[in-house]
Each structure stands twice: as C-alpha cells, then as structure tokens.
Amino acid sequence: MRNDHVTLRSTAVFDLLAPRTPPVPVKVELRYDTRDPYAVVAAFRTGRAGWVEWVYARDLLADGLLADAGDGDVRIRPSVEDPESVLIELNSPSGHAMFEASAQELADFLDRTYDVVLPGNEHLWVDVDTALTHLIPNDLS
C-alpha cells in the first residue's frame, strides 16, 4: 500500500441528450483518488440542489473510449455519428440519462490517472487492512 495519496480533478461539460429536444449542457467534475484506484467518479451538477455522483470502473471508461463497454448501470461507447464524442448511458431506479462527452477530454483525464497509477498497479494502492476493518464489525461478541 502506498501512503502518498493523490486526488485528480477535472471539469467538463457533457451534453444531456433527450428525444426531440436540443442537448442540455451539464457541468461534470471527474475525480480519481488513489484511495480507490480502480474507480472514477463523475459528479453531475444538478442545479441549485447540488451534485449527483456516479462511481464506475476506470477500466470501463478506458474500454468505452474504444468500443461498447458496460452491461450494467453505466454503459460507455464511441458515438457512431461523431467519432470525437463518447456516449455515456446511466440507468438507476429513479431514471435513465444519456450524455455525450468529448472523447479527447475523457482520454486526457484517463491519461492523467495513468500518470499516477499505471493500469495493473492498482493493487499497490489498496489498504486491505483498512478495507477489512470497514467490512468486519469491531464488536464480535
């Protein structure tokens, strides 16, 4: 486990896509924290109410820049209509949203995460003892 933790942040604007309406720009903060080296957080600005965060695998983002990726609540794929864009589909019990984002911006953010933690080296940043402490109750009696 490494002790020199780093948090990367990047802001972007994704276009919220809906049928028969023009795209709506949404501010998004992308975060990568070495305390959870396998994950990326996308925080979507929802107006005055605050932010909605989605956490998904860093590998999913990388795979989705190249081809269809994901089969759960988060799906990412290159846009067929615009090779410079990526489509991000989010599904939850409360709804469904489709966003279009710049493939280059996402690739640049991903490259920055690789500068900090190379793919395949994520395990070097995981503190197993701390993770187990959170999973196992302290009072076993």
As a whole number of angstroms, the distance between CA 96 and CA 117 comes to 32
pLDDT for residue 16: 96
User: Cβ–Cβ contacts within 10 Å for residue 63, how many?
Assistant: 15
DSSP one-letter code for 18: -
pLDDT for residue 66: 97
* Nearest one of 125, 108, 117 to 30, comparing CA atoms: 108
pLDDT for residue 140: 57
pLDDT for residue 141: 53
Contacts of 47 (CB under 8 A, 6+ apart): none
pLDDT for residue 74: 96
Q: Is 51 exposed, middle or buried (0-12, 13-18, 19+ CB in 10 A)?
A: middle
* Nearest one of 61, 23, 66, 29 to 44, comparing CA atoms: 29
Q: How far is CA 16 from CA 21, 28, 119, in A?
A: 10, 11, 30
- pTM score of the predicted model: 0.86
As a whole number of angstroms, the distance between CA 55 and CA 76 comes to 13
pLDDT for residue 138: 65
- Which positions of the chain have pLDDT values less than 70? 1-3, 131, 134, 138-141
pLDDT for residue 20: 93
Q: What is the mean pLDDT of the chain?
A: 91
Are residues 22 and 8 in contact, defined by beta-carbon separation less than 8 angstroms? no
pLDDT for residue 131: 67
pLDDT for residue 127: 74
